[in-house]
Amino acid sequence: MFNLRFIDRPSPNYDPRARAIDLVVLHYTGMQSADIALKRLTDPAPLAGNYPGPWQDKDIDPMTVLGRVSAHYVVDEVGNIYRLVAEAHRAWHAGVSSWEGDPDTNGRSIGIELVNGGHDFGLPDFPEDQINALIHLLRHILARHELDASRVVGHSDVAPGRKLDPGEKFPWVRLAEFGVALPR
Ligand SMILES: [Zn+2]
């Protein structure tokens, strides 16, 4: 029996969900650390200067207001699962995106962020403890919402050409072995 370790870290960044959940979108955080990612995903007024990174132009005004973002869950490298937004609410993780011709990806999906530096920070491997926690979280989610493995997709699937996450190191095959994603 795998023990899911939940930690509540509420984010104010959400709005009402008006439709049923029929999709799960997986992301990497693409930031330096879990702490910085959690701060960004719970920040009601993010400023560029608080989130430096190679995605920013060097001359950017540090007072530039960034978009508010969130996810339902953040899974860190050792398998802790931070709960930021209740599944009943609409989190803001997919951005400009589309699935099955519908642009409101956030309205239909649960967003899960994996703490991982991604392409901007060396494209690190996803630790086994992190992937094990994700697999068991997905089992719960798919069972509760009566969804099959085909309903678990990556951010790059719903925003091709704009987003790369969760990236080519993400172990889709391992998820597929547990029936929580399709092999690819
Ligand atoms: Zn993403």
Q: What is the CATH number of the domain that holds 119?
A: 3.40.80.10
Domain residue limits at 23: 5-177
pTM: 0.97
Is there a contact between 88 and 12 (Cβ–Cβ < 8 Å)? no
Q: How far is the CA of 71 from the centre of ligand 1 (A)?
A: 9
> In angstroms, rounded to a whole number, what is the distance separating the alpha carbons of residues 143 and 162?
31
| 4-14 residue pLDDT tens | 999 999 999 99
Is there a contact between 84 and 28 (Cβ–Cβ < 8 Å)? no
Q: How far is the CA of 143 from the centre of ligand 1 (A)?
A: 24
Q: How far is the CA of 150 from the centre of ligand 1 (A)?
A: 18
Residue 182 inside a domain? The answer is no
Q: What residues does the ion ligand 1 have nearby, CB within 5 Å?
A: 27, 155, 165
Given a cut of 50, the residues of the chain with pLDDT beneath it are none
Q: How far is the CA of 176 from the centre of ligand 1 (A)?
A: 20
pLDDT computed for residue 55 by the predictor: 74
Residue 183 inside a domain? The answer is no
Domain count, the chain: 1
Give me the active site residues, please: 113
